[in-house]
């Protein structure tokens, strides 16, 4: 893992080092400091720090209502945060929009909208084309290429409402690919999709990661975390843990994140060993 | 016949068509954003503003009317907020009562004022006065090249033409971000599109169309122009660009057919009286929507399978 990340780190900081010459280390693709978000009186996300490793593929996991999607949306400025700062490759996020691709939850839009598959993918070119730029032949080619990467080229002219849920999700991913970003933020890309789509999506994301891009997914299926991701960010309103899957995705951290909602048997099924007893103050290393 | 047509029917037909098209264009986005009744709300709220502008300036002219309408809209927003905060009433009720109360205030104001010198009274404010927008100086098609006759064209035509051109130009300029923000607000924000500002701009454009169409169809029937052509157009195609085209065709069709049927239709069945042109335009709009519901090629999309 570390061997693969080293060259991508060098590749991805070429631009950012000149943008922030005083940074001591290469600035991460996404860094959040002290973010608090509230709907009404109750905080949905409280004082969260996040530091995404360059060239990594990170799962944001936590129980329902833990603030996973909210954190992502607030980082992008889609929902307002009470406090906190967000930097992308060391710069304020407002300046770095071009390098971020965002895939919202599939259920967040009305798929009855009058658009064809290729129209939705072309929306990913908005920052390049601007208000009035025409779609050139090579832009159409790029749309087609992005659809091919998610195996949806045959559906380019189809109305989006006529697609299955998995196909719709792949169209959203194709739109993100059209942005040709360095940081991909995806909100539950595997929610309610068929097995073929799940395989197609993970294939595309892994290829992006191997090409040096950084992937962050809000994820809900604990059984696939180890197989799909190399890093994990565990949240339940506050940050619980963050780091490589191998060292962070542990029974103790899962228990801390999900509390009583995750049964000991479920954790055992993940192959993470036994759950620490609730009265034990710390996980194994400090047990006397 | 042709002299009479140019004198009596050409200008109302043009104004009706331009009004219908100017309302249909923003109507496409209002319908897709599930804000279709926004057009209705706008047309109700602006009435007292238009009347007040008339009372102050003493004539029906473009800028005072637009300013009056804008002022009324601001007053409406303030009243809605006050009712919500002080009365702790749910927003829908606060809006409903504000729109209706302001509209009623406009009607009362209009009734009390002396408007005999111009065509502005309660009936015309509600139903429009398309039939009275005649071009008396014309004596045939040749008048279109006659400078003296052109100077006598009803000013409403130029006003409506400019409003329609403005609506079309703004829609063309902001087409791409409007389309993205209407489909996927979260993605639009991530692309740096000012979603709220764009939504506000859409309402302003709809208000411009509504105020300009006030002459032609009055402030009640304008709602049919906002909703029917776009809703029917949605049933004809699955592409937003084509939907816009269809909505403009339907708008023009409803205006022309409606005007002609209102003027000549009763004669064909032996009645000596013409019927309200704006009423007939709205009726035809509804009929077009009904036909699109029955026969539109894109109407079955909701029954499409959602899972493989």
Q: Domains (ranges, CATH) in chain A?
A: 2-270 (3.40.50.300)
CATH code where residue B226 lies? 1.10.3470.10
Q: Across the interface, do A126 and B184 touch by the CB < 8 Å criterion?
A: no
Q: What's the pLDDT score for residue A166? A: 93
Nearest to A112 among B193, B302, B307 (CB): B302
Residue B88: helix, strand or coil by DSSP? coil
DSSP of A175-193, one letter per residue? HHHHTT-SEEEEESTTTT-
Compute the nearest-CA separation of B91 from chain A (Å).
17
Q: What's the pLDDT score for residue B50? A: 85
Nearest to B308 among A127, A175, A194 (CB): A194
Q: What's the pLDDT score for residue A3? A: 40
**Is residue B74 included in any domain, yes or no?**
yes
Q: What tens digit of pLDDT does each residue of A75-99 get? A: 999 999 999 999 999 888 888 888 9
Q: How far apart are CA B217 and CA B17, in angstroms?
A: 11
Better-scored residue on pLDDT, B161 or A260: B161
Could you tell me the CA-to-CA distances from B175 to A90, A125, B228 in Å, in that order?
33, 14, 21
3-state helix, strand and coil shares in percent for chain B, rounded to the nearest 5: 80, 0, 20
Regions of chain A with pLDDT less than 50: 1-24, 280-288
Hey, what are A189's tokens?
A: 């890309």
Q: What's the pLDDT score for residue A262? A: 67
**Is residue B249 included in any domain, yes or no?**
yes
Closest by CA to B16, choosing from B203, B221, B206, is B221
Kindly state the average pLDDT of the residues B36-41.
79
Nearest to A102 among B190, B193, B304 (CB): B190
- Chain A, nearest residue to B299 by Cα: A112
DSSP of A55-110, one letter per residue? T-EEEEE--TTSSHHHHHHHHTTSS--SEEEEEETTEEGGG-GGGEEEE--GGGS-
**Is residue B301 included in any domain, yes or no?**
no
Which phi and psi (to 5°) does residue B152 adopt?
-95, 5
Helix axes B37-57, B195-234, angle to 10 degrees: 110
pLDDT at B193 over 90: yes
Q: What's the pLDDT score for residue A58? A: 96
Q: What's the pLDDT score for residue A139? A: 93
Asked if B262 and B275 touch (Cβ cutoff 8 Å), the reply is: yes
- Which of these ranges, A86-90, A105-109, B175-179, B211-215, has the smallest mean pLDDT? B211-215
Q: Across the interface, do B184 and A77 touch by the CB < 8 Å criterion?
A: no
**Is residue B306 included in any domain, yes or no?**
no
Q: How far apart are CA A146 and CA A258, in angstroms?
A: 37
Going A49 to A53 to A55 to A60, the CA torsion angle's sign is negative
Q: Which domain holds residue B38?
A: 2-295
- Chain B, nearest residue to A113 by Cα: B183
Q: What tens digit of pLDDT does each residue of A266-280 get? A: 777 777 766 655 554
Instruction: Tell me the pLDDT of chain B averaged across its residues.
Output: 85
Q: What's the pLDDT score for residue B232? A: 96
- Check if A166 contacts B (Cβ < 8 Å): yes
Q: What's the pLDDT score for residue A71? A: 94
**Is residue B303 included in any domain, yes or no?**
no
Kindly state the average pLDDT of the residues B260-273.
82
Hey, what are B180's tokens?
A: 């993205």
Strands A30-39, A238-244: pairing kind: unpaired
**Is residue B30 included in any domain, yes or no?**
yes
pLDDT at B237 over 70: yes
- Which of these ranges, B164-168, B249-253, B279-283, has the smallest mean pLDDT? B279-283
Hey, what are B10's tokens?
A: 């050409």
**Is residue B305 included in any domain, yes or no?**
no
Q: What tens digit of pLDDT does each residue of B109-125 get? A: 888 776 555 556 777 77
Q: What's the pLDDT score for residue B93? A: 85
**Is residue B18 included in any domain, yes or no?**
yes
Kindly state the average pLDDT of the residues B188-193.
92
Q: What's the pLDDT score for residue B305? A: 44
Kindly state the average pLDDT of the residues B282-304.
82
Structurally, chain B folds into a number of domains equal to 1
* Distance spanning both ends of chain A, measured CA to CA: 33
Q: What tens digit of pLDDT does each residue of B56-101 get? A: 887 777 778 888 888 888 888 888 888 888 888 887 888 888 888 9
Q: Across the interface, do A113 and B304 touch by the CB < 8 Å criterion?
A: no
Q: What's the pLDDT score for residue A189? A: 94
């Amino acid at each position: 893992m570390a061997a693969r990340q080293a060259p991508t780190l060098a590749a991805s900081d070429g631009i950012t080092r000149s943008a922030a010459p005083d940074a001591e280390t290469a600035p991460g693709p996404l860094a959040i400091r002290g973010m608090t978000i509230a709907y009404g009186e109750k905080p949905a996300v409280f004082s969260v720090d996040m530091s995404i490793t360059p060239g990594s593929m990170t799962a944001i996991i936590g129980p329902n209502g833990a603030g996973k999607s909210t954190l992502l949306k607030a980082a992008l400025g889609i929902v307002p945060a009470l406090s906190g700062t967000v930097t992308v490759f060391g710069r304020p996020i407002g300046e770095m929009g071009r390098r971020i691709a965002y895939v919202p939850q599939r259920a967040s839009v009305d798929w009855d909208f009058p658009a064809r598959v290729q129209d939705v993918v072309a929306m990913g070119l908005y920052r390049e084309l601007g208000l009035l730029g025409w779609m050139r032949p090579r832009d159409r080619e790029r749309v087609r290429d992005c659809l091919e990467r998610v195996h949806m080229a045959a559906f380019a002219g189809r109305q989006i409402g006529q697609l299955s849920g998995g196909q719709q999700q792949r169209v959203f991913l194709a739109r993100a690919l059209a942005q040709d970003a360095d940081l991909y933020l995806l909100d539950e890309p595997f929610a309610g999709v068929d097995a073929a789509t799940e395989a197609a999506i993970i294939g595309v994301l892994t290829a992006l990661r191997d090409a040096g891009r950084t992937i962050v997914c809000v994820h809900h299926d604990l059984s696939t975390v180890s197989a799909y991701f190399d890093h994990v960010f565990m949240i339940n309103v506050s940050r619980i843990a963050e780091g490589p899957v191998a060292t962070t995705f542990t029974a103790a951290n899962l228990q801390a994140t999900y509390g009583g909602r995750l049964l000991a048997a479920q954790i055992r099924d993940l192959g993470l060993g036994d759950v620490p007893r609730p009265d034990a103050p710390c996980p194994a290393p400090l047990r006397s | 016949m042709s002299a009479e047509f140019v004198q009596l029917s050409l200008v109302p037909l043009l104004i009706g068509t331009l009004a219908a098209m100017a309302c249909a264009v923003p109507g496409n986005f209002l319908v897709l954003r599930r804000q279709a009744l926004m057009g209705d709300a706008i047309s109700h709220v602006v009435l007292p503003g238009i009347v007040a502008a008339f009372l102050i300036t003493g004539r029906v002219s473009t800028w005072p009317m637009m300013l009056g309408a804008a002022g009324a809209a601001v007053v409406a927003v303030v009243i809605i907020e006050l009712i919500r905060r002080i009365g702790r009433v749910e927003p829908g009720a606060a809006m409903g009562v504000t729109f209706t109360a302001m509209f009623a205030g406009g009607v009362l104001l209009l009734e009390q004022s002396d408007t005999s010198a111009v065509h502005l009274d309660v009936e015309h404010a509600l139903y429009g006065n398309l039939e009275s927008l005649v071009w008396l100086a014309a004596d045939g098609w040749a008048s279109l090249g006659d400078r003296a006759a052109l100077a006598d064209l009803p000013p409403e035509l130029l006003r409506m033409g400019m409003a329609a051109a403005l609506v079309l130009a703004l829609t063309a300029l902001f087409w791409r971000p409007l389309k993205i923000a209407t489909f996927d607000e979260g993605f639009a924000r991530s692309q740096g599109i000012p979603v709220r500002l764009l939504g506000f701009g859409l309402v302003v454009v709809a208000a411009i169309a509504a105020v300009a169409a006030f002459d032609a169809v009055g402030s009640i029937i304008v709602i049919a122009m906002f909703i029917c052509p776009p809703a029917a157009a949605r049933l004809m195609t699955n592409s937003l660009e084509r939907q816009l085209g269809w909505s403009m065709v339907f708008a023009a069709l409803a205006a022309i057919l409606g005007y002609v049927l209102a003027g000549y239709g009763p004669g064909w069945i032996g009645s000596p009286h013409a019927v309200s042109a704006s009423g007939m335009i709205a009726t035809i709009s509804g009929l077009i929507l009904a036909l699109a519901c029955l026969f539109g090629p894109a109407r079955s999309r909701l029954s499409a399978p959602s899972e493989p």
